[in-house]
Structure 1
């Protein structure tokens, strides 16, 4: 028996020793992952503008969408990226004057005009034409710097491996204000009223604007079949009609018969005359409405603060032009791809996205910027997104208009770029816009919807039935 126990003990000892040595051997062969230098340096892929024009009126618009290549560090793990911007080429400026995207998994990031405006403040730029730099030059242009870094994990520590792009210099320019009122044009005391516009005063009259000539006023207005007159201060004390339909303004005169459409109305109180002409600029093309075959052009609205015409629009990959009155008699393209409006010029190539487009006939130029565009969505309009939202246009800073929105009985909300990330409802049914608020109940009809998102004010909305 003793011999048997001794034999068993010897066997167990051998097994234990083998297990020990095997364990040690396995420990020596634990697999290791070795980070390698990037197979390709990270670099920007997008094309940069020669100059980025900045204005507080378009602060929420996208100034540039930075795009870069995907980087491979030779391991099967998540690669992260960080986009940085600064007023200093060494990226050591105060935090308020720098941009930091934070850690990103995607290979793109959008920088807004507001981000660049913060950098402009750090550079001491301003939009006052009366101020200059030390050399007497306009004090509204400067340079900012951007770079992107690709890394694994946190990108920090002694074993960190990363790659950083070349630094890209961007020229930013604040759009100088010509005077306190911007364009110098003001809303006059006169307006358009009637069954052809606002059911004889159910909501505010369509405004006339001042012009460069005293006593001459102009209105850009969408009319319905009906009648109109011109009155002062939304009141009947002073009003003009046209007795005789001869283009002469008559105090308290007959109503003026009009047909539905978009018009420019000029009223001259110096010689008591007026003129009504069809007038509507629009976006047309394969990038919007199949060159007019898929519906009317996207209408521009007048912005008196800049004396320009603006539209918020959703484009698809293709080409566009700008034309008057949904007709090819007068149209503009861009033959040099330089932002200049050329009469009958080349088509303008566009890529899919949401844009704010501005036509400036004073300078003969246009701008087209990716932007955050508000839209109408809901069971009262498009079955909560079954078809595109009805888009607004920012006609003046903070003031958004959606014209002739055909609603049905149901509910609506307002959201940006057909996405729910940012949306407004009305909790309390008090006309105040609430972030993520309750749906707004609507009844069938045709409406002009206005959003007042003026910075520093409580956001509000109005629905005016026509």
Structure 2
């Protein structure tokens, strides 16, 4: 009996331990696949936007699949894109449901997974196909799947850069001093604090800022020009939130425009290193220097590649190769493989830690060819200001199939002319060259070389330029450096005073201005510190006359004015300075000024009565005085209590409350002061 029982037990164990076999139910030919019913329309391009990420993009419906047995079915909504390998599951539905609601984010994520875009510039309209595949949820069944027919539509996805979580902003001329610009940032791999590093094209003044707006700490230099010191391959400077006098810090500025590597701890110093990236390696016969595209803020080069490898190299410390995937670049990465052929290679360094590159389609282009004029050395003379100089001629330009919009004639960075009718010649006047040369920093009476270039501008903001032709020009002094204000309306009365003058601000157009307290009287403008030169009087409101018998210029009411005249166009203007307070302690913050509630012309005072200020002994919110929403007219504190100076320091407010503020002007000393009283 025991023997029979043991045999039975062994058989039972054998059967119980045997791996469960997978079975096949019917033929795939007998399976009924789902049929798509409702899908995105193919008539228009669906534009996906990040701000709509959580919104419904579409609802897809289909008929139920049938595998000949009663079981739960899983449906996967799958996308593919024309020209790209692979597919991506948009979402999955389990149960009896035969519809799927797809959000904008789900659709966009699937398309980015397929295309592997790593840069916004790569994004383009895609031809997309979607299908629904049905699976039996029973894992023991094999070959139990069926796919619907494909449905096609077009969509334009969006790309969201993966910005570092710990970052700072660099605002300046290179990006128009714009706030909330995430394309000019430095990043840190630390959870907080620096070092902050990155690559950036700099062109003129800039500041390094802890926040995307001006409301945080903004670092600059203590003095101007920026006192750079050599540090290895680059330069270093001490940075601060205040200047040497305790006011706002001065703008930083590199010695020349270009691509820079930047490194800062955002507290004591900033390091910059100017770089010129080149395509180097076995894939090029010689290094190819990359150019800067100011519109897209990327580096690019049109390269005749050989089959081989290359890197983006500036020097041994900055040699960018392959990153974690094709399209991403990494410092010190392996060389990038490329097939032979002409390609436009683009390098995007805007996002620290996510440097990217891609190939753009090469465009057949023919730049304009500028013919050198017979005479390239000219001594310009004021007496010949309206005379023509030699005509410039160039050949027609082409850029693929795009339409030419204009030719722009440039002298250095100055525009001499913009021609919109396809003309391929231009004749400048003596005064045109003189204005441009002075604007380029030329010195009257001193010869210097200037580059003349023809830019061909096409649709889609594309441009190509001619090779430069060098002209040696000696400009003349077009306008004297100052003119005098005299009259009962002025601080000096009818006596010429070298302190009561308008200074030349438009060296190219004869504009002079300055700010003065003007009485409700009259004045004239003179070209000399006496009456023996040209005297400008009243012709009509806003217009001057050089007739010696012209009347005096009237001032309707006493006020502090910006007085501006143009001796070339014979015009004048009187703009009252409307003073306000602005800063973190005020209602408008640093974004908008709060104008004075009362102006007393007799007392020469501006008063803010019962104004609410936010104060704190710890963080010390601040304010300054500013006129006409223009930082050219701002006053702040000095070491002398109550005194104000142009571009002075911020005035701290140590406690919340309602205040009366009075700003006063002293016409005799031409100085401002203020009082602040808490109610």
- TM superposition score normalised by structure 2: 0.29
Q: Which has the higher contact order (CA 8 A, sep 6+)?
A: 1
**Greater strand share, structure number:** 2
The structure that has the greater radius of gyration is 2
